[in-house]
């Protein structure tokens, strides 16, 4: 169990970056990476510098790396290996796949996006709409940042082609009922398109269970390399005509949507990432431990702290957007950094439909816990917030 000190310490020893005593408390901005992931990347650079398709040794190693990464990613998402697509990052994959899906859309067709979303899940549809004369509508939020399902129902129509939404907010941590959104999308014949970048770092995913047609995530959020990983339901993507170089392979299915040579060394690191997560018990161990850290934080925050969005743990992942009364966010994060605590101040957090609704004028401080953080780091953070206020 992660809450056993000896177990947690053994996990932290696998990260060189955690040995200095610095507290990394902005996991939404990117997690730390265990040494074994970096070693797998380096080993691939040394021993598998080749491309797919040849019969000599290094090319065969690349083939093994790719097939293993596809199989492990499929197990992580709950799908089949041929439904996996790799790319440079989530945003690049989203532009590629949305553009591909949009070949079949007609002028006046509609895309629904959530006002909770990171712009990586919105901008591709806005650009497609400009090029193809489509309509993009934003589904509204309640005051507590939860999705307004009545507004979703009102905006769905027989012209809706895609309902795109973030499963969890990278800014305020709010979780959306993904299965419910997917069902409503399918009721009108639309695709259910899920941005799981932030959710995938904290909760187990089963794309079949929620009914997703497309789901995209980013391994750098869960202790892996900078890559994009997408799932595309075979019955959907097999109908799409991909943007690709003509001689490139068209099988397995998912690879037809990968443009050019992949970063095979990063795929080796991705395979090691999934092995690492499995070795510490997966999300069955990770999720309750992270929630215990979040509960400790909420129980100890000073009265002068404003938490935006949901007030408690229900309906969220362990990510918090806060401000300290009377102290600018930039000064708060600088004060914490002096105490070797890493947080971040920003205005929109790339959630352009969200941040103006939250009521802060300039910036807010984002705090995000992940499974290698400790209770002592949470207490250091709370003490740092108190000292920033009194200072």
Q: pLDDT by residue (tens digit) across 50-103?
A: 999 899 999 999 999 999 999 999 999 999 999 999 999 999 999 999 999 999
More reliable by pLDDT, 128 or 6: 128
> Helix, strand or coil for residue 274?
helix
Q: What is the pLDDT of residue 203?
A: 98
The residue assigned the tokens 């002592």 is 376
Rounded to the nearest integer, the mean pLDDT of the chain is: 96
* pLDDT-derived band at 1, boundaries 50, 70, 90: low
The pLDDT of residue 105 is above 80: yes
Contact 31, 10 (CB under 8 A): no
Answer yes or no: are the C-beta atoms of 62 and 48 closer than 8 Å. yes
Q: Is the pLDDT of residue 110 over 80?
A: yes
Query: Going by DSSP bridges, is the β-strand pair 160-166/364-368 parallel, antiparallel, or unpaired?
Result: unpaired
**Domains in the chain: ranges and CATH:** 5-25+281-390 (3.90.1150.10), 38-277 (3.40.640.10)
Q: How confident is the model at residue 325 (pLDDT cuts 50, 70, 90)?
A: very high
CA distance 332 to 345: 8
pLDDT in tens, 22-35: 999 999 999 999 99
Q: How far apart are CA 351 and CA 172, in angstroms?
A: 10
Query: Mean pLDDT across the stretch 192-212?
Result: 98
Q: Is 301 helix (H, G, I), strand (E, B) or coil?
A: coil
Query: What residues pair up with 24 in beta bridges, in sequence order?
Result: 342
The pLDDT tens digits for 257-283 are: 998 899 999 999 999 999 999 999 999
- Looking at residue 340, its pLDDT comes to 98
């Amino acid at each position: 169990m992660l809450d056993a000190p000896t177990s947690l310490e053994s996990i932290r020893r696998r990260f060189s970056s955690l040995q200095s005593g610095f507290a990394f408390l902005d996991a939404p901005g990117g997690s730390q990476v265990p040494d074994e992931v970096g070693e797998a990347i380096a080993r691939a650079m040394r021993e598998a510098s080749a491309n797919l398709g040849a019969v000599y040794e290094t090319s065969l190693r690349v083939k093994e790396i790719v097939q293993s990464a596809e199989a492990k990613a499929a197990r992580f998402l709950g799908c089949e290996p041929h439904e996996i697509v790799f790319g440079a990052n989530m945003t690049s994959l989203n532009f590629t796949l949305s553009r591909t899906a949009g070949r079949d859309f007609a002028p006046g067709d509609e895309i629904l996006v959530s006002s909770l979303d990171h712009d990586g899940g919105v901008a591709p549809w806005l650009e497609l709409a400009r090029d193809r004369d489509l309509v993009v509508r934003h589904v509204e939020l309640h005051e507590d940042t939860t999705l307004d399902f009545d507004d979703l129902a009102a905006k769905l129509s027989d012209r809706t082609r895609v309902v795109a939404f973030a499963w969890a907010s990278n800014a305020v941590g709010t979780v959306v009922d993904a299965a419910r959104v997917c069902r409503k999308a399918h009721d009108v014949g639309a695709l259910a398109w899920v941005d799981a970048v932030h959710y995938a770092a904290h909760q187990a995913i089963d794309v079949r269970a929620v009914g997703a047609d497309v789901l995209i995530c980013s391994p750098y959020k869960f202790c892996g390399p900078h890559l994009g990983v997408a799932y595309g339901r075979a019955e959907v993507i097999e109908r799409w005509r991909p943007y690709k170089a003509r001689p490139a392979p068209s099988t397995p299915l998912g690879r037809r949507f990968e443009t050019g040579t992949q970063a095979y060394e990063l795929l080796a690191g991705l395979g090691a990432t999934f092995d690492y997560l499995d070795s510490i018990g997966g999300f069955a161990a990770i999720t309750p431990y992270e929630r215990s850290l979040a509960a400790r934080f909420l129980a100890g925050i000073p009265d002068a702290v404003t938490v935006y969005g949901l007030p408690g743990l229900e309906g969220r992942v362990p990510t918090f957007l806060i401000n300290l009364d009377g102290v600018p966010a930039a000064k708060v994060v600088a004060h914490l950094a002096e105490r070797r605590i890493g947080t971040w101040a920003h205005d929109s957090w790339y959630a352009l439909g969200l941040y103006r609704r939250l009521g802060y004028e300039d910036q807010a401080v984002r705090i995000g816990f992940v499974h290698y953080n400790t209770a002592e780091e949470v207490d250091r953070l709370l003490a740092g917030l108190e000292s920033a206020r009194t200072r």
